Structure 1
Amino acid sequence: MTDADAGRDIDTTEPGRAWTFGDDIDTDQIIPSRFLVSSDPAELGEHAFNDLRPEFAPNVADGDFVVGGHNFGSGSSREHAPLSLLGAGIDGIVAQSFARIFFRNGINLGLPVLICPDADRIDDGDEISLRLDEGAVINHTADERYDADPLPEFLQTLVDRGGLEPYTRAKLGTE
């Protein structure tokens, strides 16, 4: 299931709260394995960061952002981790670096991800927004702009379409 299937519009240009995490956040910390009995984004979202940060799921709002350090999303290759963040209402993830499979799973599900070397300058609770095509993170709280790696045009298209499934259906004319 993609974000488009979940019926939620993502707008990275609108400011949202930053939920910050450190280095080496793995997929089991994002969604503990005991909750993998479902692939429903909303149900998974209710358990996102359950053990690492129990206040996350009850307090996250649609349009918020996750900010990580180095190697965000390491561990399992399952799609449940980015899917749980979509289900929780996250509009994008900014990190200093990503595990490759998590980065691609996010894109394939229509979840915007940006590599930003200065992500560690974003404090928990800061209001941020993303400019995917420009490769920028705007910290409205600190009145700062951080350079990020812009998404290549093809990956931007996948995100804009809501992920790989809706993109492929559109290409095949089976929407």
Structure 2
Amino acid sequence: MKVRGRAWKFGDNIDTDVVIPGRYLTLRDPDEMASHAMEVVRPDFARMVKAGDLVVAGRNFGCGSSREEAAFVLKRLGVSAVVAESFARIFFRNAINLGLPVVECKGVSEAVNDGDEVEVDLEGGVVRNVTKGVELKCTVLPDFLMDFVRSGGAIEALKRKLKAQA
């Protein structure tokens, strides 16, 4: 499974309150909620991001409170993957459970600039900066987590598995 798109670059320690501020968690319209993604650090992000684009970040992406909405709004906006030096574990698992690919890749924050074209081979463990011609090895998700990603999330994977057993 490969994804390819424009990189939106962020730094270290982007916490869930930056991804989606708490004051918007009561919004019932998912598109309205997603329209506030990353506005604290990048006010134009939700308006400018295109389906297929990727978020690239430094260390500890998704730290802070356990907020499933942080992964949800990125997926809702069409972000095809989040590639970071490292992730807070709760964000990592929330993203996988929602079917949003997350990839740990040492050196990615140095190898990718904002706006670069990036391709991620999720099963091959490669992040390629198409713009610069740079290739990095990255962590490959275990098969059971890749199944969640391929299925669109944990619930969809479980539904598919139960249907196959029926």
> Shorter-chain TM-score category?
over 0.9
- In the TM superposition, what are the counterparts of 1:16-165 in structure 2 within 5 Å? 16-38=5-27, 40-120=29-109, 121-165=111-155
Structure 2 contact 3–80 (Cα < 8 Å) conserved: no
CA 1:50/1:142 → structure 2, altered by over 3 Å: closer, same or farther? same
Over the matched positions of the two proteins, sequence identity in percent amounts to 48
TM-score (norm 2): 0.93
Question: Residues 69 and 119 of structure 1 are in contact (CA less than 8 Å); yes or no, is this contact kept in structure 2?
Answer: yes
The alignment partner of 1:15 has SS state of strand
The 3-state SS of whatever aligns with 2:132 is coil
Q: Unaligned stretches of 5+ in structure 1?
A: 1-11
- Normalised to the residue count of structure 1, the TM-score between the two structures is 0.89
The one-letter code sitting in structure 1 at the alignment partner of 2:26 is V
Corresponding residue of 2:163? 173
Aligned-residue RMSD, C-alpha? 1.7
SS of match in other structure, 1:173: helix
What letter matches 2:148 in structure 1?
L
Alpha-carbon distance between aligned partners in 1 of 2:13 and 2:156, rounded to the nearest angstrom: 31
* Structure 1 residues 40 and 156: CA distance shift in structure 2, 3 A: farther
Q: Which runs of 5+ in 2 are unaligned?
A: none
State the Cα deviation string for residues 39-96 of structure 1 (Å, max 9, x = none).
Answer: 6543322110011110111100000000010000001112000001011110000000
Q: Which amino acid aligns with 1:100?
A: R
Distance 1:49 1:79 in 2: 15
